[in-house]
Amino acid sequence: MKVWTTENPGAGDMSVIETWKASVDGQSEACLKVIEKLRAISSSSTNHWEGKGGVAFVGAIARRIERLDLMSQACAKASAAASEYVGAVEIIREQTAECYARIERARSVIADSEEPVLEGFPSHGPNADHYEEVLQAVDELGLVAYRRHEADQIFMRDVLRQMSGRVRTERSEYETMDRDDRGQATDASKDLFLAFASGQAPRDIGITDGIIPVALADSGHMKNLRERLIRLLKGGDLDVGDQDGSTRSLSSDVLTLSADGSNVITGGRFGNTPETFFGSFEATYEVVKIEGGEATVTFTVTNDTTRQSFNRVPLVPFVEMPWAPGVNIGHDVLGGYEPIGETVVWTEKIEF
């Protein structure tokens, strides 16, 4: 069930987010307290325990401190993202209330007016300005809904980056998915499509494990992005915290469009169905750690699935697919094909 709607972009219980944030803050503080105790133990051991055993023990503590420090930082970043999200939603609620207040004021003036309404042409009647105010407020409400969608995706991205699943690689080169992998990826894509078509999908979906991240990591677009990333790492042009990315676009890439079409026709037998389902998407990376010749990198793919993009013939924006009328009926009558956003996050260890 969707938490908010385009009619009420400010919906949702923020106390749930606040409670979660308090829990995450507690975890961060607990990690710091354990780190403090471990450092005291390490210092004491260094003063009183010599030899190989002491060195090994202190080294083991240092590694544990490093993991706890990363966990504390992850919790702190997730907490900060929660604070920003709650603040953004509060602004969105205020904007939503203002839109409805404008609509109510304009409608009240129109209702109280003694001037006759020009039948069929209210925008040309004596209350034209007030009708225009209603239309502008409705348009603004649509923009507010999109801002809520953006806030949801940013929050989801920032939190999932701290809790993302790992996809281990061998020198960053993925082997081609075998038949079973492609079948699982196709089934997962079908499940996403059915949730979208039925209107049962959440407004925004976060994915950090399962076959979808593995398939996207193995996609042609991500391989190209990874190769560019490795070149930058080898050249010493990237540091911890650096971010970059690229866009996969179907609007101007005939070869990509043809490959996606072939993949659909063959039922995903030879292609990458999640990449095809997402179509045009944004892919970004963030360098989390660099140690020797290995970098820990978090990848994020964000995408919007709408009936308009599903209906439209790429490269010919004003032509619709043959199934467009059925999709439109499914949306207008059955409540399906509602817009959904997907955020997929995974972390890799890349040798360079």
Model confidence over 153-173: pLDDT tens digits? Answer: 999 999 988 877 655 544 334
Contact between 318 and 308 under an 8 Å Cβ cutoff? The reply is no
pLDDT at residue 308 in the model:
79
> Which one, of 339, 238, 346, 264, lies nearest residue 301 by Cα?
346
Is residue 40 domain-shared with residue 175, that is, in the same domain?
A: no
| Residue written as token pair 């979906």 | 205
Q: Which of 130, 163, 196 is the last residue of a domain?
A: 163
Total of domains in the chain: 2
Residues 75, 155, single domain; the answer is yes
Query: What pLDDT is recorded for position 115?
Result: 59
Both 241 and 277 in one domain: the answer is yes
Residue in 201, 206, 192 with CA at minimum distance from that of residue 164: 206
| Residues 337, 213 within the same domain | yes
Instruction: Point out the domain boundary residue: 132, 163, 194.
Output: 163
What dihedral angle (degrees, nearest 10) is formed by the CA atoms of 189, 195, 201, 207? Answer: -20
127 and 203 share a domain?
A: no
pLDDT at 317: 58
Alpha-carbon distance 146 to 312, whole Å?
21
Q: Which domain holds residue 238?
A: 165-352
Are 169 and 267 members of one domain? yes
Q: Show which of 163, 192, 212 is a domain's final residue.
A: 163
Q: How far apart are CA 222 and CA 344, in angstroms?
A: 13
pLDDT at 125: 60
Same domain, 240 and 110: no
Contact between 99 and 177 (Cβ < 8 Å): no
The ranges of the chain with pLDDT < 50 are: 1, 118-121, 169-174
CATH of residue 47: 1.20.1260
Which pTM was predicted? Answer: 0.77
Under a CB-based contact definition with an 8 Å cutoff, are residues 205 and 3 in contact? no
Q: Do 148 and 119 lie in a common domain? A: yes
Domain identity same for 39 and 171: no
Residue positions counted in the chain: 352
